Amino acid sequence: MVYTVKFAKTVADKVSTLHPDINKQLRSAIKNISKEPYSGKELQEELSGFLNYRFLRYRIIYRVNDIDKTILVYMFGHRRDVYELLSKLVSNQQK
């Protein structure tokens, strides 16, 4: 079964500014995630509950909702800073 993929607003804004080659790779990765939602690696500690899908030097951070068969992409970015940005987002939401 194919899951529906939804993007957080920050991700949607960032995707529109990508280089066409990276955008093509991102679309391919999203297609793979929609077919196999648990193909990403589970994150640990304060980021538990999120999954990480790798392509090129980038990461897609998402959560799966099995009840309504959706995937929400919270963040997309270069591997060097995507986890730090997500940690800040999560800690701000908990305040």
Domains in the chain: boundaries: 4-94
Whole-angstrom CA distances from 79 to 37, 39, 68, 69 are 20, 18, 29, 27
| pLDDT at 30 exceeding the cut of 70 | yes
- Is 4-94 a CATH 3.30.2310.20 domain? yes
Read off the pLDDT of each residue in 31-45 and give the average, rounded to a whole number: 92
**Largest Cα–Cα distance in the chain?**
38
Four-residue CA torsion sign, 45, 26, 11, 38: negative
Helix (H, G, I), strand (E, B) or coil at 36: coil
Instruction: Return left, alpha or beta for 39; rule: phi > 0 is left, psi -120 to 50 is alpha, else beta.
Output: alpha
| pLDDT at 93 exceeding the cut of 70 | no
Read off the pLDDT of each residue in 75-81 and give the average, rounded to a whole number: 86
